[in-house]
């Protein structure tokens, strides 16, 4: 378990005056969006000059929950005032932080705060709070707000719960510990609308996504004596369905939702790389090692890589060979 920096370090950083820009990783998931939007709402309500930037497009499940949020820029260039400090949320390294399109250099940035729960976080900020024992970055922020002494808006609680729900797969993944459940209960106490979140996140998927999941399942293949299930997602199939990458967050779960395989793998051939997503049945089966060997990273049981030097068949073969190795340890 990696623990670097401290909540006190994060608090001291945020207590310093000056404008703040909240950023997260490329292709933001529920935790990235929930962390940026929740913290933005709380800081602005407390009178802090803050802006948030997400590249988008956001999946419908999130945009539906997202009314006009002052200070939030999705895709559009935000103002970058001088003396800006960056708060990087849920992101392992400065390279992976999605910067706004009008970002040129680090010229205007005096400081960076890195708040994250990924075990491979590089502690890249001038101030750092990394705790890989936490189920979600949003859960860390739920702890940070009271420490900052700012008002805990029910809207912020809702967005933190979105992050926590998505990073725990709706409290089904192995990272759902007592602390995660306690944080969820606290967020509900603070006004998060759990029923609306669950309905919006899990029961209102576009029909086309369900159809895509059905195709993926029908095309699934097995390797390593049935211990690995994998499928290939063709970008043309996505386009035909009218879905974007954001709309298929978590689609790999359809491959691990049945008894048998220990690891699920999903391959997508993009123009510049092959995207490999990996999920394992338990943190003891370290798919992060395979992701690292492929040039990527992630959590023990949920990891991925963008493989640039191999075509689809070669990337598949290499991934399966690496999986065979960790499964025979
Ligand atoms: Mn996360």
pLDDT at 103: 86
Are residues 291 and 232 part of one domain?
yes
Ranges in the chain, pLDDT < 70: 1-2, 105-109
The per-residue pLDDT of the chain, averaged, comes to 94
Residue 83: the pLDDT is: 85
- CA 226 / ligand 1 centre spacing (Å): 30
CATH number of the domain within which 190 lies: 3.90.1640.10
Residue 106 CB contacts under 8 Å (≥ 6 apart), including other chains: none
Both 160 and 106 in a single domain? yes
CA terminus-to-terminus distance, the chain: 21
Per the structure, the count of domains in the chain is 2
Q: What is the pTM of this model?
A: 0.90
CA atoms of 271 and 23, how far apart (whole Å): 26
C-alpha 34 – ligand 1 centre gap (Å): 10
Separation CA 121–CA 93 (nearest Å): 6
Q: In what order do the strands lie in the sheet with 20-23?
A: 3-5, 127-131, 109-116, 84-89, 20-23, 50-54, 72-74
Cα gap 298→115, rounded to integer Å: 15
Is the domain of 187 the same as that of 216? Answer: no
- Structural domain that includes position 28: 3-202
- 273 and 163 within one domain: no
Span from the CA of 33 to the centroid of ligand 1 (angstroms): 10
The answer to whether residues 197 and 211 belong to one domain is no
Pairing state of beta strands 84-89 and 72-74?
unpaired
Say yes or no: 47 and 166 in one domain. Answer: yes
Q: Which pLDDT belongs to residue 67?
A: 80
Q: State the distance from the centre of ligand 1 to the C-alpha of 144, rounded, in angstroms.
A: 16
Say what the pLDDT of residue 1 is: 55
Contact between residue 127 and residue 13 where contact means Cβ atoms under 8 Å apart = yes
Domain boundary among 202, 224, 253: 202
| CA 210 to ligand 1 center in whole angstroms | 24
Q: Given 152, 173, 202, which residue is the final one in a domain?
A: 202
The CA 89 to ligand 1 mean position distance, Å, reads: 9
Tell which of 147, 180, 202 closes a domain: 202
Q: Are residues 140 and 232 part of one domain?
A: no
User: How far does the centroid of ligand 1 lie from the alpha carbon of residue 225, in Å?
Assistant: 32
Spacing, Cα 117 to ligand 1 middle (Å) = 6
183 and 314 share one domain: no
Instruction: Please tell me whether residues 22 and 142 are part of one structural domain.
Output: yes
Same domain, 133 and 250: no
Asked if 31 and 115 sit in the same domain, the reply is yes
pLDDT score for 108: 55
118 and 252 fall within a common domain: no
Distance 6 CA to ligand 1 centre (A): 18
As beta bridge partners, residue 228 has 223, 263
pLDDT of residue 224: 97
Q: How far is the CA of 90 from the centre of ligand 1 (A)?
A: 5
């Amino acid at each position: 378990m990696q623990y670097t920096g401290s909540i006190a370090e994060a608090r001291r950083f945020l207590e310093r005056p000056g404008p703040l820009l909240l950023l997260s990783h490329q292709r933001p998931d529920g935790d990235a969006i929930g962390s940026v939007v929740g913290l933005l709402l709380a800081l602005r309500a407390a009178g802090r000059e803050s802006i948030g930037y997400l590249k988008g497009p956001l999946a419908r499940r999130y945009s539906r929950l997202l009314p006009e949020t002052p200070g939030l820029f999705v895709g559009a260039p935000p103002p970058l005032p001088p003396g800006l400090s960056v708060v990087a949320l849920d992101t392992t390294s400065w390279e992976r932080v999605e910067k706004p399109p009008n970002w040129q250099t680090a010229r205007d940035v005096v400081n960076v705060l890195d708040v994250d729960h990924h075990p491979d976080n590089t502690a890249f900020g001038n101030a750092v709070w990394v705790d890989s024992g936490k189920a979600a970055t949003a859960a860390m922020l739920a702890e940070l707000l009271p420490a900052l002494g700012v008002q805990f808006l029910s809207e912020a609680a809702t967005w933190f719960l979105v992050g926590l729900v998505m990073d725990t797969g709706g409290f089904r993944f192995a990272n759902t510990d007592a602390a995660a459940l306690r944080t969820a209960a606290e967020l509900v106490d603070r006004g998060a609308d759990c029923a609306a979140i669950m309905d919006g996140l899990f029961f209102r998927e576009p029909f086309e996504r369900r159809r895509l999941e059905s195709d993926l399942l029908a095309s699934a293949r097995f390797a390593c004596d049935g211990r690995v299930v994998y499928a290939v997602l063709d970008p043309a199939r996505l386009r035909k369905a009218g879905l974007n990458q954001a709309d298929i967050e978590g689609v790999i779960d359809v491959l691990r939702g049945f008894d048998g395989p220990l690891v699920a793998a999903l391959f997508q051939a993009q123009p510049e790389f092959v995207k490999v997503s990996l999920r394992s049945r338990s943190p003891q089966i370290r798919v992060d090692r395979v992701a690292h060997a492929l040039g990527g990273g992630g959590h023990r049981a949920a990891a991925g890589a963008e493989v640039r030097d191999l075509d689809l068949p070669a990337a598949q073969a290499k991934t399966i060979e690496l999986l065979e190795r960790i499964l025979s340890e």
